[in-house]
Amino acid sequence: MTKANPIPRIGLGTFRLKGQEVIDSVSSALELGYRHIDTAQMYDNEVEVGQAIRNSGIARDKIFLTSKVWYDRLRSDDLIRSLEESLDRLGVETLDLALIHWPSPDDVVPMAETIGALDEARRKGLTRHIGVSNFTIAQIDAALSVPGGEHIVTNQIEVHPYLANRKVVEHCQAKGLQVTGYMPLAVGKVMKDPLLQEIADAHGATPAQIALAWIASRDIVVIPSSTKPEHQHANLAAMELELSDNEIARIDALDAGERIADPEWAPRWDD
């Protein structure tokens, strides 16, 4: 039932990267073969991301570029303006994917207004695809039920071995949506995990690669953030790793509901 997935299975996340650091990170990733770059209005790095893309010499249509609308720009006219501003900062004519970064806190902005405006942005050519991020099961159902919701392709949510987020993942997949997993390395925690290290040793890999391979085995797009070319290369290589059913089951058992991204404006999560 899953829609054809337009999103490359691995991308480069740019959260917390600023200035020259994000330029260098995006530049090295593109040189290594990444073709999926993920940014957001709130990251305050769209100008630098766009500069790195232009400097790469890679044709724009070969790069899948995602940005996200912050939750204070969800009113219809403002959402459109915010995406026009993003395009201006990035120096591109269109996004490949525009996401609602967080659902409207306390549903202040009606879902129909937000999704309707997002789909209008798609119709205007500001973005090729639309999606959401950090949406709960109820919010996904609400978004899919309003006009424009039929064009949503993904829900980008936190996924790593300590937060499998299984209910939301399975619900989205059952609805035909691609899940994109952010913070896949649990902000470095996976590197110190004895089980992941044991499995990594068996594959001649690293714990980070095992975590990424486990997420990919669930048909989830991964967007790890990395500034070091050697780590970026290893993350790409992780997409070629195949874990056994037993290894996957052992990693599944690490799930402890440990959520890292839980700001005060977050929705009430599905347990």
Task: Give the 3-state secondary structure percentages of the chain, helix then strand then coil, rounded to 5.
Answer: 50, 15, 35
Q: How confident is the model over 134-144, as pLDDT tens digits?
A: 999 999 999 99
| Cα distances (Å, whole numbers) of residue 216 to 14, 58, 67, 187 | 19, 26, 22, 18
In contact, 50 and 89? CB cutoff 8 Å = yes
What class has domain 12-185? Answer: alpha beta
The residues spanned by each domain of the chain are 12-185
Q: What is the mean pLDDT of the chain?
A: 97
* Residue 162 appears among annotated catalytic residues: no
Chain length of the chain:
271
The tokens describing 205, both together, are: 């890999």
- Identify the burial level of 191 via C-beta atoms within 10 angstroms of its C-beta, where 0-12 means exposed, 13-18 middle and 19 or more buried: middle
Which band of pLDDT confidence, cut at 50, 70 and 90, is reported for residue 1? Answer: very low
Set 34, 43, 71, 162: catalytic member: 43
pLDDT at residue 155, rounded to an integer: 98
- The answer, yes or no, to whether residue 2 has pLDDT greater than 60, is no
This prediction has a pTM of 0.97
* Confidence category of residue 3, pLDDT binned at 50, 70, 90: low
Q: What confidence tens digit (pLDDT) does each residue in 59-108 have?
A: 999 999 999 999 999 999 999 999 999 999 999 999 999 999 999 999 99
Report DSSP letters for 125-157, one per residue: TSEEEEEEES--HHHHHHHHHSTTGGGEEEEEE
